[in-house]
Amino acid sequence: MLKRIAPAICAGLLLALAFPPFNLMFLSFVALAPLLIDIRGKRFWAAFGRGYVCGIFFALPNMFWLEQFVAKWTGSIFYGIIPWILVGAAFSLYFALFAAAASKAWRSNHAWLIPFLWAGVEVLRSTIPFLFFPWSLLGSSLWKTPIFLQPAWWGGPYFLGAWIVLINLLVALFWLKDEYSFKTVRIYVACTVLVFAASILSYLAPLSGKTVRLAAVQPGVDLAFSPKWQRDAGLAANIPKALSFGAALKRDLTVLPEAVSEWAAQSDSPTAPFDLNFAEPTIMGGQRNASGTSYQSMFAFDGSWKFADKTKLVIFGEYVPFRQYLGFLNGFSLPGGDLSPGSEVKTLDVGTLRVGGLLCFEALFEEVARKHATNGAECLAIMSLDDWYQGTGAIDALKAGAILRAVENRIPVARSASLGPSMIIDAKGNIVAQAEIGKTTTAQANVISATQAPIFLRTIFPWATLLSLAVMIALPLKPDEEAKTPNKRR
């Protein structure tokens, strides 16, 4: 039994090593090849099982941060293990779906569709209502090498992931070289090299636009595990101190973290433990209450106050779905009550800049950042509360998300978190300023900023991959059909 599932185990472990906290990123170019070779010729449910095994051996190392976080939060290793196992088991179903669809692509003579099927599964898990979870998308494994990330500018993170799977497919074809003609393999080689060359050229092309100075404030206060009085005292002392770093240089936008303020109903401005009379355009995150409804929001000040509400909430963290229909869910009591999502992705004019705000979890969603770019955003601002995950692999994963949002939209990103990571990222995905984790300071830098409307391919590619996934899953095949591929040697 172990011998039969060894390729799937190998694929899962290699892929896990490509991601944080290990960051052996180039393994992502070969990690899925053992699975692709193994499922070739297998029927739907056999491949589904192999994919599930691969997913388990990827998800458990990749999501160990969940066990660490919950164990620290509850004070119980046992309570940490339960959600870690459950989430990993559920997440693995997406790998199973991919493997099953890919096996049908092999058997139906459409192996070239396999990269699109992977992308379709990533789109599905990132957008499925209530359960959306765009965690560790394949392209984010390359977050430390922006020169490889540029395909995300053309087709988003899903296109980047499809290219990586294309390379894995090419490795599988080389492994099976005795069965496939050179003509078949060279097509995959040409596509791989073409995308890589275009990525290099895109990365080296000069940026055009106006130079702006962005600042990301890092108070150095634990906003997750310290009592409220201690948090407030720390913010009152540390935010003015952090703002003083580099204050002699005029800043076009200053970004503070999430959860540092609140906006009460019927009030015309937010409140915070520190002085809100900012000398420069400033934004921050906090909870907004309006007529009995609570939102997680971005608050912006440039002489007057304005706000934009978060549209993507954390399931069971910020709201409990179907509570009004399923009575037993009332037992899930959230500390601040259920939050409501904003009705639209709102991009704000703050000072001289048009700013797209992303609040914590929202920064993982490419479509939210894409909407800001469509709305004319000149920069993205991420206000986060990462204190829950300090010391875990989640920190690098969150950094990876911020870098991808910059590359995809070709606009700079300022990311502020109370303990970090706080950083400034340029439009090519380079970290140009970064605060030391836990330190009270401000990361700031000059970057090139310009309005960049998303390329049309980026809008249609997710839908095209979802369609290819649906068609392949629904495609009828004869139960005894042999594995085939174009130009296979007889």
Query: Phi and psi for 119 in degrees, rounded to 5?
Result: -60, -40
Among 67-76, 199-208, 225-234, 314-323, where is mean pLDDT lowest?
314-323
Higher pLDDT, 321 or 12: 12
* Burial readout 131-149 (b: 16 or more C-beta within 10 A, e: otherwise): ebbbbbbbbbbbbbebebb
Task: Tell me what pLDDT residue 410 has.
Answer: 96
Q: Other C-beta atoms within 10 Å of 209: how many?
A: 16
Q: Please give the pLDDT value at position 442.
A: 97
Q: Is residue 283 within 8 Å of 299, Cβ to Cβ?
A: yes
- Band of pLDDT at residue 337, cut at 50, 70 and 90: low
Under 8 Å CB-to-CB from 1, ≥6 apart: which residues? none
pLDDT of residue 40 exceeding 90, the answer is yes
Check if the beta carbon of residue 13 is closer than 8 Å to that of residue 59. no
What percent of the chain is predicted at pLDDT more than 70?
92
Q: Quick one: which of 143, 132, 140, 137 has its CA closest to 98?
A: 137
pLDDT score of 486: 45
Which sign, positive or negative, has the C-alpha torsion 283, 284, 289, 293?
Answer: positive
How confident is the model over 99-109, as pLDDT tens digits? 999 999 999 88
The pLDDT value recorded for residue 478 is: 67
Q: What pLDDT score was predicted for residue 450?
A: 86
238: pLDDT strictly greater than 90: yes
Three-state SS for 388? helix
- For residue 322, give the amino acid letter: F
> By percentage, how much of the chain surpasses pLDDT 90?
77
User: pLDDT per residue over 137-179, tens digit each?
Assistant: 999 999 999 999 999 999 999 999 999 999 999 999 988 876 6
Answer whether the bond into residue 421 is a cis peptide, omega within 30°. Answer: yes
The Cα–Cα gap between 152 and 366 comes to 10
Tell me the C-alpha distance between 475 and 121, whole Å.
16
For the stretch 81-92, pLDDT in tens is: 988 999 999 999
Identify whether the C-beta of residue 441 lies closer than 8 Å to the C-beta of residue 418: no
Instruction: Work out the pLDDT band at 439, boundaries 50, 70, 90.
Output: very high
Max Cα separation, the chain? 77
pLDDT at 297 over 60: yes
Q: Which residues pair with 441 in a beta bridge?
A: 218
In this prediction, residue 490 carries a pLDDT of 35
Q: How far is 16 from 426, CA to CA, in rounded Å?
A: 28
Mean pLDDT, range 280-290, rounded to an integer: 95
Closest C-alpha to 126, from 118, 430, 212: 118
State the average pLDDT for the chain: 91
Q: Are 195 and 153 in contact (CB under 8 A)?
A: no
Q: What is the pLDDT of residue 109?
A: 85
Contact 362, 310 (CB under 8 A): yes
Query: What is the dihedral sign for C-alpha 178, 182, 184, 187?
Result: positive
The whole-number pLDDT of residue 482 equals 46
252, 352 Cβ separation under 8 angstroms: yes
* Cα 337–Cα 395–Cα 319 angle in degrees, nearest 5: 15
And the tokens for 230? 């201690």
Which residues are 350's β-sheet partners? 353
Confidence of residue 434 (pLDDT cuts 50, 70, 90): very high
Least confident window among 166-180, 299-313, 363-377, 417-431: 166-180
Q: In the structure encoding, which two tokens stand for residue 249, read together?
A: 């240089």
pTM for the complete prediction? Answer: 0.93
In sign, the C-alpha dihedral spanning 316, 318, 323, 328 is: positive
Q: How confident is the model at residue 18 (pLDDT cuts 50, 70, 90)?
A: very high
The CA distances from residue 256 to 80, 375, 416, in Å, are 30, 23, 6
Candidates 67, 69, 53, 42; CA nearest to 16 is: 53
pLDDT reading at 1 higher than 80: no
pLDDT given for residue 487 in this prediction: 45
pLDDT digits (tens, 9 = 90+) for 344-357: 999 999 999 999 99
According to DSSP, the β-strands at 413-417 and 423-425 are antiparallel
As a whole number of Å, the end-to-end CA separation of the chain is: 31
- Rounded distance, CA 468 to CA 112, Å? 11
Mean pLDDT across 400-423: 97
- CA dihedral of residues 61, 65, 67, 73 (deg, nearest 10): 180
Lowest mean per-residue pLDDT among 130-134, 240-244, 469-473:
130-134
